Each structure stands twice: as structure tokens, then as C-alpha cells.
Amino acid sequence: MAENCAVIGVGQTQHDSKRIDVSQVGLVREAALRALEDAELDWKDIDALVIGKAPDLFEGVMMPELFLADALGGAGKPMLRVHTAGSVGGTTAIVAASLVQAGVHERVLTVAYEKQSESNAMWALSIQLPFQQGVVAGAGGYFAPLIRAYIRRANAPEDTGIRVALKDRLNALKNPYAHLKFPGITFEQVAQSPMLWDPIRYLETCPSSDGACAMVLGNAKAAKRAPHKSAWVHATAMRTEPTQFAGRDQVNPRAGKDCAKELYAKAGITRPRQDIDCAEIYVPFSWFEPMWMENLGFAPEHEGWKMTYEGATALGGDMPVNMSGGVLSSNPIGASGMLRFAEAANQVRGLAGEHQVEGTRRALGHAYGGGSQYFSMWIVGDQPL
């Protein structure tokens, strides 16, 4: 039944704390035009649009895709808008892929964006609602206690997070689109950066960025006509669990484990660390790298930090993670998930530039959101499955 789906074009904007040179229209068009250019296609070649972004309160426009659709050549076409919290960029790509896999469309343009500078993310994420317990200090205040719990459970060395941050920030120096770049950054600089939400330091934290990501997805026929190598979607999966319930393991959530399990089964992966060449995963605070290494089955429980320690997740390691510099280096929230998926695609296309992992044949793209409760993932390969 399902048709093969391939990524035939990828584009992203320059990410920055304030892209004051463009409107929301200009931002999404910048990414979309680059994806179209990569695929050597024009607006008219696109059959449908799938747009993703995180909360509308960030930009102060309710369902902004309604005013952005025609700016993306969408007039007269189907348009969907996905919103699944921080995982949305990934889920948006999955919805777009499903339109191709279902045989509904031949070529779909998918775009995810956030223009956080139009307001203030800390404000939007910490609005106190009547009658409810408050979120004290945005995402950092929410996730820091979980990180402390991980450190305790795994008995992880306290500098693991620093090592992750250093690695991702060095990787970002190879990524022309990255928002945060610290040339010559050292372990000491990360270690000495201020504690914000102890145990999270400033340089272990993601920025707030303006940016967009776009991909053109196509069926086998479209891929055949594409000028560059395609990334073939081997499998997609998503899982959700409630934010809070008695006995919920928020450190190593079952939704993530189940999602990975289904993903690997669909992609024919039995030994993830051997079968997957590199992974681009959603790490908004450095400690989430070892946490997700366990959750994704790359490391046994309580041993994810060893991968960081041993250099396995560095460029040149046996399981490179966040080659682009990751969410720690660019974080336009709604687009952050899609950027992970797009990086995985560019790795198998051999188009990842300076941060290319040579010989990548299979890569993982991963996103999560909410209170570590929404997961979306895909595996892409250099050949159809």
C-alpha cells in the first residue's frame, strides 16, 4: 500500500536571536525557497503544504498558517498545520511524509518555523493560569529537576553535561546556519558559565532563536527526477503519554522507548548503535544527550553518559550525535524538530557539508516535546528500504 517517500530538497534559514531583517513571511520563504532550489523545483510543482510551529502565542497570531499559506505558494492547494509542542517540527515532517506514502500527493512542501523575537519565549511559556500550579521558570525550571534525578540514578559524573555542551558547540562552528557560535570554546568556559537552573549552566542551555526549516518530500517518481541524491524515509513513529501521572518516569519516558522500538522494527534495525550511522536528536539542555542515548536504546540504562565520556557521540566517534550543533546551538522551537529530521536527511544525502559523517547510510532524526511526553522520530537511508 504505502509508497516510498524521499527527501528531495532541504532548506533552512540563518538562525539568529532576532531576524529583524525579515517578516514571518520572509522567514518561511527563505527556508522554503532554499528547499525548492535544492530540489530544482518551483512553487507550482508542489501539491500540498504542511506547516508546523509551536504555540501561536509566540508570534501573537492565531493559526498563522492561514496568512502564510499563499506566501508559500499554497493558493488552491491543501494545507495542514501541525502543533505537537516541541516535537512539532518532527511530527510535521512525518505528516508530510504520510501524504506521499499514502499516495495522496507526489510532492509535498513542509515548513516549520518560529519567530520567537516577536515576543519573549520565557513569557509565553510561564504565563500563570488561574487555579493551577505555576511553571516557575520556563523550560529550564521544568527540566532541571529531571536532570538532577538522572544524575542521581545513573550516578553520572557531574561534568557529563559540560562535555556534551562543549562537543555540540564545537560542532556548531562547522554549521554555517547555526545561531550560537563560540570560536575556540573550552571546557573551562562551559564549566564556569553561570548556573541558571542548577544543575543546568548557561552554556549547557539552548538559545531562543528565529528560524525556519523546509523540506520537499516526494515519491519515487519525484525522487528519480531530483537533481541531488535523495534521503529515503525508512520508518517514522510517534508516541504520546500524559504529562503527569502517579509513578510516571519522566527521566526515561516509556513513550520515547516505545517510539524507538516501533521505529527500529519498521526500519529493520536490530542493533541501533551498529545499524545507525549517526543521530541528530533533540537536546535542549546538554544532559538530555545521555538521557536520550538510554531512551533510544543506544546505551544500557544508566550508561548513556559513558558514550559522551568515551567520545562515541563526537564527530569521529562510533555514534556521532548532533553533528549540526543541535538544539543547543539553534532553537527556533517550532522548527527545531524539523531541523533534526533535515540534518539526518542531509547526512544520508552526503550534503551535510563540514559536519558530514563520511559514509552515512542510515541516520536517525528525533524530536520531543511537552513534559518529555511527545516523541517523533524517523530513520532515513541512502537507498529505499
Hey, which residues between 95 and 124 contact other proteins (CB under 8 A)?
A: 95, 98-99, 101-104, 115, 117-120, 122-124
State yes or no: residue 141 binds other proteins (CB under 8 A): yes
Sort residue 311 into left (φ over 0), alpha (ψ -120 to 50) or beta: left
216 membership: H or E segment, kind and range: strand 210-218
The residues in 2-61 that bind other proteins, with binding defined as CB under 8 A, are 2, 18-26, 29, 43-44, 54-61
Please report, for residues 91, 147, 239, 288, 366, the alpha-carbon distance to residue 87 in angstroms, rounded to integers and kept in the order given: 6, 19, 10, 15, 8
Contact indicator for 325, 313 with CB cutoff of 8 Å: no
Q: Within positions 258 to 277, which residues make up the interface with other proteins, using CB under 8 A?
A: 258-259
User: Nearest approach, Cβ of 92 to other proteins (angstroms)?
Assistant: 10
Q: What is the closest distance, in whole angstroms, from the C-beta atom of residue 269 to other proteins in the complex? A: 17
Closest CA to 11 of 211, 209, 233: 211
Nearer to other proteins, 9 or 74 (CB): 74
Q: Using alpha carbons, select from 284, 246, 231, 281 the residue that is nearest to residue 260.
A: 281
Q: Pick from 4, 40, 149, 173: which binds other proteins (CB under 8 A)?
A: 149
Closest separation between CB of residue 98 and other proteins, Å? 5
Closest CB to other proteins among residues 228, 254: 254
> By CB under 8 A, is residue 191 in contact with other proteins?
no
Q: Which is nearer to other proteins, 246 or 358 (CB)?
A: 246
Closer CB to other proteins, residue 69 or residue 220?
A: 69
Segment 210 to 229, residues that bind other proteins, using CB under 8 A: none
Residue 67 interacts with other proteins (CB under 8 A)? yes
Shortest separation between residue 64's beta carbon and other proteins, angstroms:
8
Residues 70-99, interacting with other proteins (CB under 8 A) = 70-85, 91, 94-95, 98-99
Q: Which stretch binds other proteins (CB under 8 A): 163-171, 249-257, 268-276, 290-298?
A: 249-257
Find the shortest distance in angstroms from Cβ 184 to other proteins.
Answer: 26
Q: Is 160 in the site for other proteins (CB under 8 A)?
A: no
Position among 40, 47, 137, 385 found at the interface with other proteins (CB under 8 A): 137
The residue count for binding other proteins (CB under 8 A) is 116
The least CB distance from residue 275 to other proteins, in Å, is 22
Rounded-to-10 torsion of CA 32, 33, 38, 42: 110
Distance separating alpha carbons of residues 234 and 381, to the nearest angstrom: 6
Burial of 309 (0-12, 13-18, 19+ CB in 10 A): middle
Nearest residue to 55 via CA among 142, 127, 108, 137: 127
Could you tell me if 108 and 100 are in contact, meaning their C-beta atoms sit under 8 angstroms apart?
A: yes
Does 192 contact other proteins by CB under 8 A?
no
Q: What is the DSSP string of 252-280?
A: S-HHHHHHHHHHHHHHT-SSHHHH--EEE
Whole-angstrom CA distances from 318 to 8, 310, 312, 357, 360 are 27, 10, 5, 10, 11
Residue from the set 106, 241, 294, 343 that interacts with other proteins by CB under 8 A:
241
With binding defined as CB under 8 A, does residue 128 bind other proteins?
Answer: yes
- The number of CA neighbours under 13 Å toward the Cβ of 337 is 32
Task: Say whether residue 130 binds other proteins (CB under 8 A).
Answer: yes
